[in-house]
C-alpha cells in the first residue's frame, strides 16, 4: 500500500537555516530518506518552497481563477512530503514518526488511492 506523509509546521518553529541546529535537523531528513530507500519503501519526497510562493487555482463558472498564496489560512503550513510504500498502517506510522518536523509540527499520513 502507498502512503503520503504531508509534513506541516508553524513557520519559524524549526531551527534557522545556516545554523548547526539546522544542519542536524536536515541530517534527520537525510537519514529517513536513506532508511526508506534501504527498506525499498521510498517512492518520492521533497520539501516545498514557502507558502508565499503558492498559487491556488479554481474553476468557477467555467473560468479559471488564480489567487496568490494558499486557499485556506492556517497556522501550520505544508512544508514537504514523503510518498512511500508500507505493508500496514502501523509500519507507515513508524516511518512518519521519524520525520524530524514531527517534534514541533505534525505529519498527516494518508493512504494513496491506487486506481
Please give the model's pTM, rounded to 2 decimal places: 0.87
Residue 72 confidence (pLDDT): 61
Owner of C-alpha cell 537519514: 31
Residue 75 has pLDDT above 90, yes or no: no
Residue 110 confidence (pLDDT): 96
- How many CB atoms are located within 10 Å of the residue 55 CB? 9
Residue 71 confidence (pLDDT): 59
pLDDT band for 10, please (50, 70, 90 cuts): confident
DSSP E strand stretches across 2-115: 2-9, 42-47, 55-60, 63-68, 77-85, 106-111
CA distances from residue 112 to 2, 25, 82, 90 in whole angstroms, order as listed = 5, 27, 12, 15
Amino acid at each position: 500500500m502507498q502512503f503520503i506523509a504531508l509534513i506541516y509546521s508553524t513557520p519559524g518553529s524549526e531551527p534557522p537555516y545556516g545554523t548547526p541546529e539546522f544542519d542536524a535537523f536536515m541530517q534527520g531528513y537525510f537519514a529517513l530518506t536513506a532508511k526508506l530507500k534501504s527498506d525499498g519503501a521510498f517512492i518520492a519526497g521533497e520539501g516545498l518552497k514557502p507558502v508565499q510562493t503558492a498559487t491556488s487555482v479554481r474553476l468557477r463558472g467555467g473560468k479559471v481563477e488564480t489567487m496568490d498564496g494558499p486557499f485556506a489560512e492556517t497556522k501550520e503550513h505544508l512544508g514537504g512530503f514523503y510518498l512511500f510504500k508500507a505493508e500496514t498502517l502501523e509500519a507507515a506510522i513508524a516511518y512518519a514518526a521519524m520525520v524530524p518536523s514531527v517534534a514541533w509540527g505534525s505529519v498527516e499520513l494518508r493512504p494513496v488511492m491506487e486506481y
